[in-house]
Amino acid sequence: MPTAILRSTFLLLTLLTLSSAVLVNRTIDDEYGDPITSTFPVYSPIGDWQQGANCSDCAIKPDVSKAFDGTWHDSTFYPDSTPKSVSVTFNGVAVYAFFITSPVLTTTTTTQTHLNFTLDNALIGAYDFTPDASSTYTYNHSVFSKTGLSNGEHTLVMTTGGTTAALLLFDYVIYTRTFDFHVPRISRILHLGFIFRNGYRIFVYQVLWSVIKDKISKDRSYRQWGAMVGTGTFLRQLCRSCH
């Protein structure tokens, strides 16, 4: 019996260390949005943006196979016209924005990119790119990143306005979601501890499974956790020092 209590205490401590956050990256595509939350970028003015991948009258022709998901949104801003923006709302602690940039084309084609970034209504950064003679199309071009955000809902607005013409080829945004594994109620842990007093591996399995099963039902990102527990890999890792 004292051994069982010792083991329960040890496992409780192990589980407490397990309740830290797990970070998961998700992508919001320009066309297909975020497949998990079904949120889509918001374009403004909507009529000034078009899907670049199947646009027949766009002067800018990146390689469709190199763009994320084979799509990007195209818009050109001219001074004194309405500013153009793309906005994304996400729930997370970090955000990364990716555009495609163009080489110099004809003398009359706008290929510079100028952006201002507003996060939760505060201007937080800018990006300026002017291609030179040696420039080529660049894909997955990181134009903005911000980490260390408070965990919650944020809105990133990427805008071009002002006095310089600009080309926008928006491809996608990545954001980092955080999940907390909460330790189940102490009573439940102790209860399980006594039932499986001679088999703490089973004990860990039961408690972890109850936590993870609940998460899986709410979020697809946890399926890999479920798989890890299922194969026992995770348990072996966890119990390496249990012996």
Ligand X SMILES: *[C@@H]1O[C@H](CO)[C@@H](O)[C@H](O)[C@H]1NC(C)=O
Stretch of 101-109, 159-167, 179-187, 223-231 lying at the interface with ligand X (CB under 6 A): 159-167
Instruction: Kindly state whether residue 221 participates in binding ligand X, applying the rule CB under 6 A.
Output: no
Of 106, 27, 110, residue with least CA distance to 74: 110
Q: Does the footprint of ligand X cover residue 161 (CB under 6 A)?
A: yes
What span, in angstroms and rounded, lies between the C-alpha atoms of 43 and 83?
11
Does position 51 bind ligand X by CB under 6 A?
A: yes
- Helix 186-195 × helix 200-218 angle, to 10°: 140
- CB neighbour class for 151 (10 Å; exposed up to 12, middle 13-18, buried from 19): middle
- For residue 153, the cross-strand partners are 91
Which of residues 72 and 96 has its CB atom nearest to ligand X in the complex? 96
Q: Is residue 45 a contact residue for ligand X (CB under 6 A)?
A: no
Sole binder of ligand X in the list 25, 82, 224, 231 (CB under 6 A):
25
CA distance 239 to 237: 6
Q: Which is nearer to ligand X, 33 or 184 (CB)?
A: 33
Q: Which amino acid is at 53?
A: A
Contact between 140 and ligand X (CB under 6 A)? yes
**What is the C-alpha separation between 138 and 102, in angstroms, rounded?**
7
Min dist. Cβ of residue 210 to ligand X (A): 26
Give the count of beta carbons closer than 10 Å to the beta carbon of residue 123: 11
* Interactions with ligand X, residue window 108-137 (CB under 6 A): 114-116, 126
Nearer to ligand X, 8 or 160 (CB): 160
Q: Total number of residues binding ligand X (CB under 6 A)?
A: 20
Near ligand X in 180-199, by CB under 6 A: none
Residue 15 CB partners (closer than 8 Å, separation 6+)? 183, 189, 204, 207, 208
* Three-state DSSP state, 143: strand
Output the smallest distance, CB 203 to ligand X, in A: 30
Q: Coil, strand, or helix at residue 150?
A: coil
What is the footprint of ligand X within residues 73-102 (CB under 6 A)?
A: 96
- As a whole number of angstroms, the distance between CA 69 and CA 66 comes to 8
Can residue 19 be called a binding residue for ligand X (CB under 6 A)?
no
Is 159 or 206 the residue whose CB approaches ligand X more closely?
159
Q: Which of 8, 75, 85, 159 binds ligand X (CB under 6 A)?
A: 159
Is residue 225 part of the contact set for ligand X (CB under 6 A)? Answer: no
Find out whether 119 and 146 touch, Cβ atoms under 8 Å.
yes
Residues that bind ligand X (CB under 6 A): 23, 25, 31, 51, 54, 66, 68, 96, 114-116, 126, 139-140, 159-162, 174, 176
